[in-house]
Structure 1
Amino acid sequence: MQGFASDRLRDEVILVARILLVLLFLIFGWGKITGFSGTVGYMAHSGLPLPWAAAIIAIVIEVFVSIALVIGVYTRPLALVMAIYTLATAFIGHPYWTMSGTAHFEAEINFFKNVSIIGGFLLLYVTGPGRYALRSTL
């Protein structure tokens, strides 16, 4: 519907959405940087090959790709990168189908939260970065 405040504030809402969508990744990515040895230990515990490389990949994606999305650089392709990364972390970090009891319930919640976040990244891919971006052509 034309004339709604959301139409007039479209670009501002997209900017706020970009920030909110990656806030979780920025917070936990920073934690991975400051607790790098613990991050490597978690990656090893999760059964990932080359846990130190997995930790570096996680940091690059969670921190640097998130910053790029906030400032609006290569928004569309990076939104897809984040969607794929979030899907991978859902399967690796929240395998609720292998658990029982409380652990099953908690992992299932987190798995489907990841699925919901993927939906946000796909919307960002479709909408693009809006007007407030360093490079809004992608």
Structure 2
Amino acid sequence: MAMAYKMATEGMNIKEECKRWFTEMKWKKVHRFVVYKIDERTRAVLVDKVGGPGEGYDELVAALPGDDCRYAVFDFDFVSVDNCQKSKIFFIAWSPAASRIRAKILYATSKQGLRRVLEGVHYEVQATERSEMGFDVIRERAQ
């Protein structure tokens, strides 16, 4: 297993666009979410979809395929119990049961490399089905 981990994480290239889109979402608030995918052929993490400022959590969930893994970051805006406007960034590791075993292993072993690049993530959610990353789960974690 150690050899498989080394092979999966060694050489994984995280494209500059991944950090750029995340930074724009975090600081400029021009995006609500960013979905990332791994291109196995080039061994690179790429931006798959970017959610505009008018898009919400439902659009993010719809952007995640039912049969393949993805990473996503979501900027969750909410009002706290003390009536303050707050924002928390969630990192979502999406690995549905219908995805290939190879993809699940590749995404699981490459996750930390992407997380290191995306500075400022507050919470992480790992989901294998949509109910594990429902809006109520996100809201509860942020409160």
TM-score, reference length from structure 2: 0.26
Larger RCO of the pair (alpha carbons < 8 Å, separation 6+): 1
TM-score, reference length from structure 1: 0.27
**Over alpha carbons, which structure has the higher Rg?**
1
- Relative to its length, the structure with more strand (as a share) is 2
